[in-house]
Chain A
Amino acid sequence: MKLSGLNKEPMLEVLTESMVPGSKSTLTDLGTYLPEEASLKQHEYYATPLEDLEALGFIGRVKHYDWTLEGVGLLVIGVIVLLFTIGAKLNQGKVESFIKAIRPTLDENFAQVGVNDKDLYIKDSANDFVSYATGRINIKSLFFEFKLTPRQNLLQYFFESVFSAFFEAIPTPNDSVDITLQFHSDAQVAPFTFAIVNKDGMNKARADNYYLSLSKTVEDETLLPVNFVFMSESAELNKSLVTPELTQLLGKSGKILKYFAVSDLPSSKPTTEAQYANATSKIHVKLDLHNDKQSLETINELLSELIKLADVIAAPYVLKADQQKKIIATRTQELTKLQKSIQDAKDEELRDAKLEAEREARRNNGLSRDEQDKLDKKMREKRERRLRNRMNKRG
């Protein structure tokens, strides 16, 4: 059926129905449709004339009003707050139990344990904590940086867990602690990199740390358990710095220790000479945080062993002259590379500036548009001719 020139059929049913006196159009019907009991009460409240509401008084109005929506809202907020608090407390508990476990070693070695007299640690956020210890011979400070799973934010936790499986850029959430041991500035620590790295995730360790990416990865079954490798600059370091106690301890640390490294180089690749020159020898340790008693005990022993190692290195430990020379040669090479890349960047900047200035000068020489076009064409032809000539000569 087609009426008039309309492409679409008119909504006849609706039209006829609403045209019949007394019958409701389906369209207006939808607007006033109130399916639920709760909203019916709400509707009643808003339908009551203002005078009647005023007459009810404050208490009366509160009783008359339907509070369901507000109630549900509060409940949801309550649940979120509760989950946040539980997650945050769990994380805090992890940090506290870690510090408690290494307390014996820290108290034995350091005059000050904790960030100040009162606080053992500082909470930067519900999943980032830092702690500190200082006051010891050879060691200036011990800095702990905790990075925990976002247990307080379940949504973030969930998405990070799922997406880390699909995207490389998102790391799998886990509990880890980075420990940085700094020597006193007057300590005579030789420049070298000595590192023991867990095979699980060693590629990432190499990619994350500049100092590791300059050393060879070597397996050594006599000195290390099968799940660890050396990333040191000299085999001599491996032989003389690994004690039998350390080897034995590493056997238990497969799950805990990601890596530890002694290095005079920074962890992030230097981009300026100052960054390169200001780097000092440090011991970097990365641990996975596990809260079972055995792991915590191992962590305590490991820390104590590392402090002993720091003493050995600061004694000072001296490499054989030829080995040390080789290592220093690597440093010089790296510095040259760095200087070259800085120079290259500078040159490029200068070149760009020069080209820009030339372009600017050409634009502002007071010529009309046509003349400018002609000049540009001439210049281009000249350039091309020159290029051709050069090619011909070469060919």
Chain B
Amino acid sequence: MNPAITNLVLMLVLMQVAKKIDFEDPDIKFYVRVAFITAQSITLGIYLYTRSIINKKNDLTTLKFVSPPNSLAGETEGKLTVTTVKEYDLEQIQTATKGVFTSLAMMGFMHLYMKYTNPLFMQIISPIKGALELNIVKIHLFGQAAVGDLKRPFKAASMFGGFGGNSEAKTDKATVEAAEKAGLGGIKAE
């Protein structure tokens, strides 16, 4: 099922459940905290374990793709990335791990400074769910074949359903070869 839809359903259900819970009760607060920290640790654990698998596999197959130009930054040409499967995968894990820390910082602010416990409760299941639904985790942890949707480079999940131009990375030979001779390297900032 589409993760975006399940996330929405999960959120609605949790909101209803949250209404029934008295977050002012110190006992409940304690349990929510424990559950939240456990959930974040499990998420980080999944990422760390996946990272160790990637490092162990050490797949050095070369991967070339041209990512679409970022029109917001005023780019007209796509940027070529020449990398290895290992490096690409590690980067994916790195991004996901960064996300965990960002949400941790946000939750820390909301809970410790603003004194809300509700968001903590909402963030108990979704990070683990998100981690298990990550392409890179699917490939390495569950051993799914890297074909179809799991073919690298991964398609970025677009919020507007592909609206607003082409957002897919190109891997066809002609585009890559043109980009390989573009001479865009070594641009030094003044």
Q: Do A and B bind each other?
A: yes
Contact with A along B157-185 (1 / 0, CB 8 A): 00000000000000000000100111111
A381 CB to closest chain B CB, in angstroms?
33
- A320-337 residues at the B interface, CB under 8 angstroms: 330, 334, 337
With A165-B98, A166-B98, A203-B82 known to touch, is A213 a contact of B62 (CB < 8 Å)?
Answer: no
Residue A384 CB within 8 A of the other chain: no
Contact with B along A212-245 (1 / 0, CB 8 A): 1111110100000011010000000000000000
B164 CB to closest chain A CB, in angstroms?
24
A208 to B184, CA, bound (A): 9
User: What residues of B have a CB within 8 angstroms of the CB of A208 in the complex?
Assistant: 185-186
With A165-B98, A202-B83, A330-B181 known to touch, is A268 a contact of B187 (CB < 8 Å)?
Answer: yes
Residue B64 CB within 8 A of the other chain: yes
User: What residues of B have a CB within 8 angstroms of the CB of A268 in the complex?
Assistant: 186-188
Contact with B along A259-303 (1 / 0, CB 8 A): 000000011110000000000000000000000000000000000
With A166-B98, A206-B82 known to touch, is A214 a contact of B181 (CB < 8 Å)?
Answer: yes
CB-based contact A266/B83 at 8 Å: no
Please, which residue of chain B has its CB at the minimum distance from the CB of A229? B62
Residue B144 CB within 8 A of the other chain: no
User: What residues of B have a CB within 8 angstroms of the CB of A199 in the complex?
Assistant: 60, 62, 84, 87
Residue B94 CB within 8 A of the other chain: yes
B107 CB to closest chain A CB, in angstroms?
17
CB-based contact B60/A226 at 8 Å: yes
One of A165, A226, A269, A334 near B187 (C-beta < 8 A) = A269
One of B82, B83, B101, B186 near A209 (C-beta < 8 A) = B186
Residue A210 CB within 8 A of the other chain: yes
User: What residues of A have a CB within 8 angstroms of the CB of B188 in the complex?
Assistant: 268-269
Residue B92 CB within 8 A of the other chain: no
User: What residues of A have a CB within 8 angstroms of the CB of B118 in the complex?
Assistant: none
User: What residues of B have a CB within 8 angstroms of the CB of A96 in the complex?
Assistant: none
What is the interface size of chain B, counting residues whose CB is below 8 A from a CB of the partner? 22
User: What residues of B have a CB within 8 angstroms of the CB of A217 in the complex?
Assistant: 62, 64, 82, 180
With A166-B98, A229-B62 known to touch, is A213 a contact of B186 (CB < 8 Å)?
Answer: yes
One of B60, B87, B101, B185 near A213 (C-beta < 8 A) = B185
B104 CB to closest chain A CB, in angstroms?
12
A215 to B80, CA, bound (A): 12
Residue A82 CB within 8 A of the other chain: no
With most chain A CB atoms within 10 A of its CB, the pick from B98, B184, B185, B188 is B185
Please, which residue of chain A has its CB at the minimum distance from the CB of B64? A217
CB-based contact B81/A267 at 8 Å: no
Please, which residue of chain A has its CB at the minimum distance from the CB of B177? A216
Residue A207 CB within 8 A of the other chain: yes
A229 to B60, CA, bound (A): 11
Residue A200 CB within 8 A of the other chain: yes
A362 to B94, CA, bound (A): 58
A-B contact pairs, 7 of them (CB 8 A): A203-B82, A209-B185, A210-B183, A210-B185, A217-B180, A229-B62, A337-B183
Interface residues of A (CB under 8 A from B): 165-166, 199-203, 206-217, 219, 226-227, 229, 266-269, 330, 334, 337
4 pairs of A and B residues whose beta carbons are closest in the complex: A213-B185, A210-B186, A268-B186, A269-B186
